[in-house]
A and B are shown apart, each in its own frame.
Chain A
Amino acid sequence: MSPDVVEEKEEESNALVWLTGFALLAAMIAIFIYVPTERKEGLIQRIMYFHVPCAWLSFFAFFVVFICSILFLWKKDREWDIYAHASAEIGVVFCSLVLITGPIWARPVWGAWWVWDARLTSTLILWIIYVSYLMLRAQSDAGSMRARYAAVLGIVGFLNIPFIHFSVLWWRTFHPQSKVITNEGIGKGMDPSMLATLGISLCAFTLLYFLLMGERVRQEKLKDEIDRLKREKLYSS
């Protein structure tokens, strides 16, 4: 990499850092100051502005894993492997946040920490699938084998999502729970100010994804570079 390119890249990532910072700040202001408190659920409802973007982000991240996995098996280029890995890590982090914020929200509203609601259940299974994906990566040595296996799992795992969705949905409908409230139920008839806040929050989190992704990919490439230099150094001596 020539120094010019490095500088340009740094400028780019700086711009992204500022943009993400502003977006997150705007989201915070909107969530805690601008948006009115929901009448029925009270203060706790504000957690939705974190919960929903986290869910969106993790789903998006897993989709990126899927695409990068296909591209990797096709092109066999380490680049795609790095992207898939980074995206899976980010996806798991935000999926964990969904699983943490969910019960916090559910406790006062539904009266239970955990309800076997279709959406929560699907998220939990998804979380386990991608944790096992990361475990698989950790278990195998660096190299093309790890990348190929992870890519296969990235594809198999994502294709599982529609099956999980329908099976869990039908599973629940046989035991209808009176207190299950889906996100659509809440989303319906939302105040424009709430919709706007959610929108800002979604944007901020999406930017955050790209920022984290860029950093993680850069880190992984530096690791590769260090390895290469080490080998070169030892080989030449």
Chain B
Amino acid sequence: MNLFLSQIAAIVWKDFVTELKTRELFSAMFIFALLVMLIFIFSVNLSIVKASEVGPGILWVAFLFSGTLGLNRSFVLEKENGCLMGLMLVPADRTVIYFGKLISNFVFLTIMELFILPLFMIFFNIDLIEHLLPLLLVIFLGTLGFCALGTLLSSLASNLKTREIMLPILLYPLLVPIVIGVVRMTGQILAGEPLSEMMNWIGLTASFDIIYIGVSIMTIDHILEE
């Protein structure tokens, strides 16, 4: 068990050291998320539409698009030089690789989201501070679900010739439930509704997270096989 955790930690450490050196991933994700938000702001007339109504959707589209960029990148790094094969040879369960990549994907995306939130606040003139805690819970649930399924599918897509194209095509339709859920919840939170009003959505996204982490644990063996 101890080795299991320290192996996961080693993978996360390795991803962080790589990122600190190259600073490729974070800056790309951040700028891309910013661009997505801007493009939506230009395409929606904010003087007609209420910012609090379109805001949550735009915010999450920015998160998911830039998150996909991160997912694509994270397994490309592993495929380069055949590193993934090296990882598969170490005396570790395949789930170690899955959890290691899941955690580093999750942490990168969350950090990026925390940087985007203040900008969102400024651009849309929405006060997030008073709803911060429930908002963070929703972001946690949504990001976890995205990364749970995203890590599984990006490990799969990384072996395809057309991985950059196939990942979003495989991933987005499966993410529809979680996108609807988090956008709806974010909207309600910004409208000042308490969390107890949206227990059904919380249940849906939480069970989505749990089921897809479970499915990944069960199927990752079959994907990480040469």
Contacts and interface: CB of A to CB of B under 8 A. Distances in A.
Sorted nearest first, the 3 A-B pairs with minimum C-beta distance are A163-B177, A167-B177, A128-B173
B176 A164 contact: yes
B159 A145 contact: yes
A237 interface: no
A164 B208 CA distance: 10
Interface residues of A, number: 28
Given A166-B204, A170-B201, A153 B176 contact: no
Interface string B118-148: 0000000000000000000000000000000
Contact of B149 (A148, A155, A156, A174): A156
A36 B106 CA distance: 59
Identify the interface centre among B153, B181, B219: most chain A CB within 10 Å of its CB.
B219
Chain B interface category by residue count: 20 to 34
B180 A171 contact: yes
Interface stretch (A96-104, A133-141, A176-184): A133-141
A156 B222 contact: no
B39 interface: no
Interface string A83-100: 000000000000000000
A168 to B, nearest CB: 7
Interface in A120-134: 125, 128-129, 132
Given A160-B174, A167-B177, A139 B184 contact: no
Nearest to B201: A170
A167 B204 contact: yes
Contacts of B81: none
A156 B212 contact: yes
Given A128-B173, A135-B166, A152 B156 contact: yes
A159 interface: yes
A25 to B, nearest CB: 37
Contact of B161 (A139, A167, A170): A139
A149 interface: yes
Interface of B: 149, 152-153, 156, 159-162, 166, 169-170, 173-174, 176-178, 180-181, 184, 200-201, 204, 208, 211-212, 215, 219, 222-223, 225
Given A136-B166, A139-B166, A148 B177 contact: no
A73 interface: yes
A174 B223 CA distance: 39
B154 to A, nearest CB: 12
Given A73-B219, A135-B169, A163-B208, A174 B225 contact: no
Nearest to A157: B174
Contacts of B174: 129, 156-157, 160
A151 interface: yes
Contact of A73 (B166, B181, B222): B222
Contacts of B208: 163
B40 to A, nearest CB: 20
B211 A139 contact: no
Contacts of A155: 215, 219
B65 to A, nearest CB: 17
Contacts of B169: 132, 135
Contact of B184 (A125, A135, A156, A171): A171
Nearest to B219: A152
B61 to A, nearest CB: 16
A41 B223 CA distance: 51
Contacts of A159: 211-212, 215
B166 to A, nearest CB: 6
Given A160-B177, A167-B204, A171-B184, A140 B170 contact: no
A146 to B, nearest CB: 10
B177 to A, nearest CB: 4
Contacts of B215: 155-156, 159
Nearest to A149: B156
A136 B160 CA distance: 9
A156 B177 CA distance: 13
B204 A140 contact: no
A73 B218 CA distance: 10
A148 B223 contact: yes
Contacts of A157: 174
B163 to A, nearest CB: 9
